[in-house]
Amino acid sequence: MDDYRSVSAWRAAGESRDAAAAVATLSEDVRLISPITEQFTFDGRERIRTLLDVALGVIEDITYTDQVAEGRTVALFYEARIGDTRLFEAQRLRLADDGLIREITLFVRPLPALTRLMTRLGPELARRNGQPGLARLIPVTAGMLHSMAETGEKKFMPKAAPR
């Protein structure tokens, strides 16, 4: 397979932060596997549209750097930031027979970027899902986790670096 038009359109939509254009590259029964938890997935274009609306409002300066493809599986890599936190993401895209994206698996690093993402996405997704109480709780719990991850990254991990 050498027709990766939907992948090219997905990349362009991410870099321009255009959720509607990104959704246009997805099959009706698309599934997105969360980088944050195994507890749930986002199934269907409308749920992914909501996620993309929130995520593309938070993640800035997305620049795709690499693409590797074999058949109907494509791996994409990008660099971005959330505020002053650098974020690196790998995406495994699986394409349907018609070339549209049918599955997206996300991987985010480093840990402080992932926890920062949790603090920014979680409350808004909970609000949009009709859970205002959870929207108020997520910043507290995710904020504690982010604080530990950021402290470890900046203060403790440098002491363990190879010399």
Mean pLDDT of 58-87: 97
Q: Cis before residue 110, ω within 30 degrees of 0? A: yes
Contacts of 129 (CB under 8 A, 6+ apart): none
Mean pLDDT of the chain: 93
Strand partners, 75: 68, 92
pLDDT in tens, 121-149: 999 999 999 999 999 999 888 888 888 88
- pLDDT top residue among 1 and 86: 86
| E strand or H helix at 61 | strand 60-70
Let me know: does 38 contact 30? Beta carbons within 8 Å.
no
> Minimal CA–CA distance to 92: which of 105, 109, 107?
105
pLDDT in tens, 1-37: 568 999 999 999 999 999 999 999 999 999 999 988 8
Strand partners, 69: 74
Exposed/middle/buried for 46, CB within 10 Å: 0-12, 13-18, 19+? exposed
Mean pLDDT of 45-74: 97
Q: What percent of the chain has pLDDT over 90?
A: 78
pLDDT in tens, 103-113: 999 999 999 99
pTM: 0.90
